[in-house]
Amino acid sequence: MSGYAQVLHSLGPPDNMRWERWPISAPAADEVRLRHTAIGFNFADTYHRSGIPHPWLVPPCPVVIGFEAVGIVEDIGSEVTGFKIGDRVAYAVPPLGSYSEVRNYPTKHLVHVPEGLQDKQVAALLLKGMTAYYLLHQTYSVQPGDTILVHAAAGAMGQILCQWGKSLGATIVGTVSTDKKAEAAHEAGCDYPVVRSKESFVDKVWQVSDGEGAAVVYESIGKDTLQRSLDSLRPMGMCAAYGHVSGPPDPVDIIRDLGRRGSLFITRPAIMHYVDKRKDLELAAKKLFDAISSGIVEANVNYEYALKDAPKAHQTVESGKTVGATILTP
């Protein structure tokens, strides 16, 4: 059988994807065949499409990218347990292939969607919400009274970090590019939005923390901000360099950059490592679904594109102008 998909013919600009028929084989023994109902858009999709900065993550073209979606199980492989035809399920890690109407996906990283949650809501939140969970609870365990620094605080990840971080009792300094984004970050729970071109976020952190510094920085911008993020940290503070939308940062010197500033920690965390084991995936998904149900975390879906218009979604998100989340609908 086949279904329509956005097929990437060579790494490069958004128009290298084309809306075409894509063959689907029968599901392998450990796979289910899914019909997607909503697809999560992630900034990393633009990395996979362009091949910058890590082309090794993408299988050879032609390929279908995307790694987050909600769908209905249409068929199951011979050894599948725990999932049946008709189940409403979701996933948020590779293998790539979510920019499609129909696909096969291994059950190892599949979760059931609880009653009461909407498909579009889950497509907007599963990957980014589980990422916020591990960043706020596992990479560094945020404590009441901590000052934390969140970059791109009005973005899809940034808003969730602000919502959830606020509920943990943190004081949040968030960086944004415009006054309008500062308002959106504030609404999401950011106490001190800083427009990066107008004000120093380093000074703001030290000022609002009474000279303590930030316990943790959620560093998603990379090249343009990493060194100043390190300047914001208290001794033994944690830099969670989980993204690099402005490009990969320059190499970090462990003596000059970390030791001199006060025994700092730095890590480059990625969701696929934090939820690779089934028990970790189930815990992160449960914590997220509970946080959604209790109103701590909300999907702020401001951009919805038909899957066949995915190249437009890439142009919009790469422009850096978006506020909140983007989804695709098949």
Ligand X SMILES: NC(=O)c1ccc[n+]([C@@H]2O[C@H](COP(=O)([O-])OP(=O)(O)OC[C@H]3O[C@@H](n4cnc5c(N)ncnc54)[C@H](OP(=O)(O)O)[C@@H]3O)[C@@H](O)[C@H]2O)c1
Site residues (vs ligand X, CB under 6 A):
42-44, 127-128, 131, 152, 154-158, 176-177, 181, 220-221, 242-246, 269-271, 320, 322
Shortest spacing between CB 91 and ligand X, in angstroms? 14
- Cβ-based nearer residue to ligand X, 51 or 62: 51
3-state secondary structure of 317: helix
Cα separations in angstroms, 241 against 154, 203, 220: 18, 20, 6
- Cβ-based nearer residue to ligand X, 157 or 238: 157
- Cβ-based nearer residue to ligand X, 141 or 263: 141
CA dist., res. 170 & res. 263, Å (int): 22
Shortest spacing between CB 28 and ligand X, in angstroms? 26
DSSP letters along 135-165, please? IIIIIS---TT-EEEESSTTBHHHHHHHHHH
Shortest spacing between CB 53 and ligand X, in angstroms? 11
Shortest spacing between CB 148 and ligand X, in angstroms? 16
Kindly give the residue spans of alpha helices, DSSP state H, lying in 51-137: 119-134
Assign 3-class secondary structure to 236-293. EEEEECCCCCCCCCCCCCHHHHHHHHHCCEEECCCHHHHCCCHHHHHHHHHHHHHHHH
Cross-strand bridge partners of residue 117: none
- Cβ-based nearer residue to ligand X, 77 or 269: 269
- Cβ-based nearer residue to ligand X, 8 or 153: 153
Shortest spacing between CB 326 and ligand X, in angstroms? 7
Closest CA to 326 of 308, 292, 299: 299
